[in-house]
Chain A
């Protein structure tokens, strides 16, 4: 399709019924109260000229192009700042208005370079458009040597790797400043000076890179001229067509228009522009989705299959046929020798639903076992368990839009401004409107105090004490009479047992004050706020799940939400911020050893029967191996072969030494991925995967929203990832074939009740849906548990606090916790291969000033980070957002080996690793030591820096 341009109504929509009726140029239109005259005109199909207005931002009244005449009103008011009134009669085109508009354009152009034809915005410039629309023919104020005062000699700011700022072309519409304020919420930009000397300025007069700018690109998108322009457009020229697809980074799942030029083999992505109709992002994005897509065409891409006999050998490039035949033969041979259960697979949480579905089908139907697991194991598996136990669904309860209706927002163990930035911006918008904020996190994350936002309560608890805190809050609710009796009596069960448990004085804030480190008065105040301020919503992340009591904590939060009636409508809920772009989908597709697609246990005969019939083969009714089990079984010799789809377990899983030893012990490791990653160093077969730009399928985000992923080019590798898997299964003797990815989704819909209304055709028609989506409910389900819980009644679960085994002691006196930052993503496979390295070229260890001082560590010093399990070396950063006794790092660069030090401790219910609590010691180090695991197991390839 040609370039998609969404209509711009000029000012934001107002909620409510369209009860105000007015006439614009004789056309009758009805809009909600508070709508601007400009928007009403646009809705009536009449576009008023504008430059400083755009419908993602509140009206500003700068350009004065949008003037109109209104019967009974004096003069020529600006239509953007004038609200509609009943019976209003508006005229948008008169001789006087035309003259005014031409006058405005004449002033603009008198201070603007006249280089349209060579300007990078040629063809996509609103100033150009308005000059045309208003019929500007002459600029009488002089030009060239006779030009009056102007800004055309101002120098560009080229500090940012992705966009350029050229103030010579700026028309001071302030859309960039307003976008940074209202949409992104970073408030990095301002106007410096006054009057004619006004200038857009990032911060106090420095460059963009020096400022608070997070490179989200909202300003670039908002800029109507070439002043803020993508470098890719400057270099490549204007795109000519669009493909709407979904981002492959985080669980927000932003919708993008991939704007392209060329076709076929020469197709090139010029830029990614957020799609306004994206349900998750509504026209916004972060630095990664918008700018960091270059990895897809990076020279490191593996494009042809490779095989080798042992991991000490060099890779041999082979044909697809040879790679697939070899893989199938080896897998069958290993099964013949060691048993059907000796092989298994790990599905990707980055690949599409369709690609994941066929892997679990291959495991169940072709391998004949249930040894399939996914990376959710190491992040949100406790969410699946905990919410299933309490509510009956393994997913969040709301859509993102719900945050706009919250009165109290409680963020626990999550850092949305870094890890889910576009959703973080939506949350901040609501907070700036006055919603109250509670943050439970050992660290002082950005949300605690940032421009126009301050948490009412920061519960800076000790790592590992989540359950104690949530129990203490629930204790306050129950013992102070704050329970929503109406809700609880009608909608929940097991109430009495739980209330008796939680009312025990041992769970009071005072009793746990010493364990948690949070003053009891703060806990009481936070609990009261959550329980009484109206709509209260919980948002949580891996700071909840990656703990030995991850599942318990999820249930604890669910208990709190149920007790206060904060379920079943907009503005409330329990919201897991899922990390990966399709981790939700991967779980939905049955990538678990104990669950078939749709979270149905493998022991359920009626469900198995549906699949056995369709797939034409009996299916095992016993759960298979989880990822940690796979590693343990590899070391004891009972598990011999692993197919890894799009996941770098050698870098992302805890206790690297253990993982490397397990991988080295396997007879066959097959890796299907974009790059030669850490896991591939242990592989015998390397099957090239496709980037999201080459995939045709769907991703499901943290809102349960199923979004289309559409291919921009054909698979550069020559095969779609689902085709590879089907052919492997085929070569193993199990016939598996699909004509296209749409057919796979059709099969998913056929067999999975919550997906029964989903198809590519339906998604193409409606954009996206949140499951459950059934034929009776084709619009999907934004809010869950509205009338009843999925399991019937919500079940209170007793959640005793059990401290983790991981204790600090004199040898390891600090607690290490881990997380993510904005510019790098997860193991960094994608972002390290883009210009994002400008922001975070290495992982650093954040330390409190006191902890640093007593160790003689200065900011920027190299330190050794050691745990009982291993040690590594990092650069230290002194940070005042760390509490004393806690340090923090990220795992974006394999050389940092952060997971060399993380332990095997994990959640009791799901084995989700306890990444967030590791006892460590930090000492100054001068040597550039590579990561070293404590146990000296035979590990080939490990520790190479």
Chain B
């Protein structure tokens, strides 16, 4: 297969970014492939910072070669010669596993000056983060890889055109890259045959929180949230009724049990004001105080904000303070209005999705669990 065919296969498979953005992987690869540059990069975003997610970690620790194979295929498809895996510092075992795997791969000729004797050169290096959630955002990750403070870069330009050190760069999540070998082995059609709507193929869902049977579960898109939580997850560990489920990490919406028939599908979730994200599913029972969860959303943003833009840097702190006042009963109505104004500001004005999506869990808590705010 020549590189262009690889890109076509990935595009036809319907594979979308598994990190959370849901952007069509093939389109991203085509942009990089078409860019003119002597130097291109493939970067794997293994920062997996979302609370309640561990799929990337399981894959890197348990099957690192799949990831390396996916990166090599990506590099071949777009014309890259160097790859980096940016692993969060909290995953030392994954770092060790990847490093061992890379050494083994080089020894076998699967990485290096001439991959499998083909003349195509590609090598991969592991880079370790340093405790910043924001470095899971692709442009912050690139800044960090370049040795700078991990702050968000405005887009345009997109990393596909001006990425690592200013060169065209593929930035893909671990699961996106790890899906590629299967797509090429079994064919794009086979992959696309799975799933629903425009969410094709499989996702590795991660069941966590107050859940009886937690763990990773790979299955086709389309499965309902309820089936994941009840059938596979077995409901709550505590045995108490499920009250809320947060899907998609700390920036995802809290969903009430009434929405358990939502199919795991990017568009269906978005239409309901929620987010599939990286597939993390965190379960809460009926002892949860949703106003404190809303406060946590703001607190998390304040803790992890890169600080570059005003709505997130200052807004998150003010969000915590405002929710505290609401919880304490001070000027409740006025502060709820203020909180909503702040949510609108952060959604529409933030530089990146960190500030931009923090209002999602906050507003969902107010909408579906408003009684906890009175």
Contacts and interface: CB of A to CB of B under 8 A. Distances in A.
Interface of A: 59-64, 67, 75-76, 78, 81-83, 96, 99-100, 103-104, 107-108, 110-111, 140-142, 148-149, 171-172, 174, 190-191, 193-198
Contacts of A103: 311, 341-342, 344-345, 349
A191 B345 CA distance: 24
B314 A64 contact: no
B303 interface: yes
B149 interface: yes
Interface of B: 132, 134, 149-150, 154-156, 302-311, 313-318, 321-322, 334, 338, 341-342, 344-345, 348-351
Contact of A111 (B304, B314, B348): B314
The 10 nearest A-B residue pairs measured at CB: A195-B305, A81-B154, A61-B154, A103-B345, A198-B307, A107-B314, A64-B349, A148-B321, A195-B307, A196-B317
B321 A195 contact: no
Contacts of A190: 149
B154 A195 contact: no
Contact of A110 (B307, B314, B341): B314
A194 B311 contact: no
Nearest to B322: A141
B310 A64 contact: yes
Contacts of B132: 194
Given A61-B154, A140-B334, A195 B306 contact: yes
24 contacts: A59-B154, A61-B154, A61-B308, A62-B309, A62-B310, A62-B351, A63-B309, A63-B310, A64-B349, A64-B350, A64-B351, A67-B349, A75-B348, A81-B156, A104-B311, A110-B318, A142-B321, A149-B317, A149-B321, A194-B305, A194-B307, A195-B305, A197-B307, A198-B313
B308 A67 contact: no
A311 to B, nearest CB: 62
Contacts of B314: 107-108, 110-111, 196
A104 B310 CA distance: 7
Contacts of A99: 341, 344
A82 B155 CA distance: 8
Contact of B149 (A67, A110, A191, A196): A191
Contacts of B155: 81
Contact of B318 (A60, A64, A148, A171): A148
A78 B309 CA distance: 11
Given A103-B341, A103-B344, A196-B307, 18 more contacts: A59-B154, A60-B308, A62-B310, A64-B349, A67-B349, A83-B156, A100-B349, A103-B349, A104-B310, A104-B311, A104-B349, A107-B318, A140-B334, A172-B310, A194-B150, A194-B307, A195-B304, A196-B314
Contacts of A148: 317-318, 321
Contacts of A67: 348-349
Nearest to B306: A194
Given A64-B351, A100-B345, A193 B307 contact: yes
Nearest to B148: A190
A190 B341 CA distance: 32
Contacts of A171: 310
B309 A64 contact: yes
B239 to A, nearest CB: 39
Contacts of B338: 140-141
Given A110-B318, A140-B334, A142-B321, A76 B349 contact: yes
Nearest to A100: B349
Nearest to A101: B349
Nearest to A105: B310
A60 B152 CA distance: 10
Given A107-B318, A142-B321, A149-B321, A172 B349 contact: no
Contact of A104 (B156, B303, B321, B345): B345
Nearest to A171: B310
A107 B318 CA distance: 8
B317 A64 contact: no
Contacts of B351: 61-62, 64, 78
A526 B145 CA distance: 33
Nearest to A140: B338
